[in-house]
Amino acid sequence: GEERVSDDIVVAKAEPETARQRTQEMQQEAAATSGSGLQDVFFGFDKWTVTDEGKQTLATDAQWLKANNGQALIIEGHCDERGTQAYNLVLGEKRAKAVRNYLADLGVDAKRLAVASYGKDRPFCRDHTEDCYQQNRRGHLVLKAK
């Protein structure tokens, strides 16, 4: 559902049961992903090109995905806190799509790979340092709940 706050602002509302189910689903996805050994891919500032290190990581991830053919993946694009929300949502999407495309190039069925962008909304690290920003500029791989 949604609620109109004013003429130009609409707020999404989640029913309590739906919110509980989604929270439980996210917890299951996180647990399944951590047990899989899948690794995130990191990006440079204002970049969405997969680096050589990222390609090595994705090669290992692709091997796991091919060996576990029944698993579907959500590739989340994340950014550091700098830049506008709109800019970071687009950049996050470009990062997630770059990861998806590289995995598909390695032979993973693209139908198993969904893309989501969170921009700067879900930081891994909250410090205001370059080391922290680097951890937030990532393509995060999450196994979909079955």
Residue 117: strand pairing partners: 77
Position 131 pLDDT exceeds 80:
yes
The mean pLDDT of 91-99, rounded to a whole number, is 97
Task: Report pLDDT digits (tens) over 10-59.
Answer: 555 566 766 666 666 666 666 656 667 899 999 999 999 999 999 999 99
Interacting residues of 81 by C-beta distance below 8 A, sequence separation 6+: 120, 123, 128, 133, 136
Buried b (16+ CB within 10 A) or exposed e, 58-89: beebbeebeeeeebebbbbbbbbeebeeeebb
**Both structure tokens of 43:** 């990006």
What is the SS3 assignment for 3?
A: strand
Question: In Å, how far are 9, 23, 67, 68 from 57, measured between CA atoms?
Answer: 41, 28, 16, 17
The percent of residues above 70 in pLDDT, for the chain, comes to 75
Comparing 2 with 99, the larger pLDDT belongs to: 99
Confidence of residue 5 (pLDDT cuts 50, 70, 90): very low
Residue 78 has pLDDT above 70, yes or no: yes
Cβ neighbours of 21 (radius 10 Å):
12
Averaged pLDDT of the chain: 85
User: Could you count the other beta carbons within 10 Å of the beta carbon of residue 52?
Assistant: 7
Q: Residue 77 to residues 19, 41, 42, 103, 130: CA-CA distances in angstroms?
A: 22, 10, 10, 15, 18
Runs of H (alpha helix) within 1-143: 16-36, 52-67, 85-105, 130-136
